[in-house]
């Protein structure tokens, strides 16, 4: 950078937050809300707090990788068909720190990437926007009264390998230095400038960060919020607030 030459300012005069990632699905119908449980971050579960968000969506909704990174994919009785994507968190909210996000997609109807199992040595690569599979009701989401949804959660780590080793076990919520560092930097880069905050929960459970806040601070590509057929809309604005943008729309 030099002090002379053309300006690096945007044409609006507002630098804004760089939003380099994509969104995680092809549609947005807010949060699952049914008789089996609520889908918001930190919703009560038996013996622990819900460590992700249940993004309500019909069976078959296309799921996307928000970033280029590594992945694992498999099946277990609880999460059903699952895909785990590990990406380095961009400088726009991580600064120059090496912080990696392990993002779990669970209860998929079908996976669209080769199955690897949980061995980090078998990890594959995904590109930003790549289709990972489709949303569904596999694993312990199969009961008729459970609305189809994507269980999505984000755990932070200091290396890609540590991210690949993250098992996303509910209730195993220990904190770590990378997660603490990311919370400080996302507050300074995104939350404080916009007044963006959760109204009914805290930003994190240990190393798990609120997935909606994390994604919103990284992506301008959230699909429009639409009303679901299966339940009343549980909008983002019911659980989050911001001063400079509409949380149901996302950062511009």
Residues 6+ apart with CB under 8 A from 3: none
Least distance to Zn ion from the beta carbon of 45, Å? 8
CA angle (183, 92, 21) in 5-degree steps? 100
Over its C-alpha atoms, the chain yields an Rg (Å, rounded) of 18
Cβ distance to Zn ion smaller for residue 54 or 160: 54
Q: Which positions lie near Zn ion, rule CB under 5 A?
A: 54, 151
- Beta strands, E only, 12-64: 33-34, 37-38, 44-45, 48-49, 53-56, 62-64
Least distance to Zn ion from the beta carbon of 243, Å? 29
Least distance to Zn ion from the beta carbon of 39, Å? 6
Cβ distance to Zn ion smaller for residue 54 or 166: 54
Cα dihedral 67, 172, 157, 193, rounded to 10, equals 70
Least distance to Zn ion from the beta carbon of 166, Å? 16
CA within 13 Å, CB half, 220:
8
Least distance to Zn ion from the beta carbon of 58, Å? 16
Cβ distance to Zn ion smaller for residue 32 or 157: 32
Residue nearest to Zn ion as judged by C-beta position:
151
Least distance to Zn ion from the beta carbon of 52, Å? 5
CB 64 within 8 A of CB 25: yes
Cβ distance to Zn ion smaller for residue 28 or 160: 28
Cβ distance to Zn ion smaller for residue 54 or 210: 54
Cβ distance to Zn ion smaller for residue 32 or 88: 32
- Beta strands, E only, 146-226: 149-157, 197-198, 204-205, 208-209
Q: How far apart are CA 56 and CA 149, in angstroms?
A: 4
């Amino acid at each position: 950078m030099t002090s002379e030459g053309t300006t690096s300012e945007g044409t609006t005069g507002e630098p804004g937050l760089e939003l380099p990632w994509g969104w995680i699905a092809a549609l947005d119908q807010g949060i699952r809300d049914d008789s089996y449980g609520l889908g918001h971050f930190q919703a009560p579960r038996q013996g622990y707090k819900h460590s992700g968000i249940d993004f309500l969506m019909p069976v078959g909704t296309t799921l996307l990788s928000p970033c280029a990174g590594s992945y694992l994919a498999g099946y277990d009785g609880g999460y059903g068909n699952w895909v785990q994507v590990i990406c380095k968190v961009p400088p726009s909210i991580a600064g120059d720190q090496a912080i990696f996000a392990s993002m779990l997609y669970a209860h998929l109807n079908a996976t669209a990437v080769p199955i690897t199992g949980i061995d980090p040595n078998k990890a594959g690569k995904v590109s930003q926007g790549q289709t990972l599979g489709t949303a569904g009701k596999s694993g312990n989401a199969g009961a008729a009264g459970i609305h189809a949804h994507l269980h999505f959660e984000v755990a932070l780590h200091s290396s890609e390998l540590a991210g690949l080793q993250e098992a996303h076990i509910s209730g195993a919520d220990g904190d770590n230095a990378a997660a603490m560092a990311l919370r400080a930097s996302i507050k300074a880069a995104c939350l404080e400038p916009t007044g963006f905050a959760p109204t009914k929960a805290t930003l994190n459970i240990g190393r798990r960060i609120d997935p909606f806040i994390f994604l919103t601070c990284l992506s301008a590509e959230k699909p429009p919020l639409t009303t679901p057929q299966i339940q009343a809309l549980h909008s983002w604005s019911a659980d989050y607030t911001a001063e400079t943008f509409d949380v149901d729309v996302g950062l511009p």
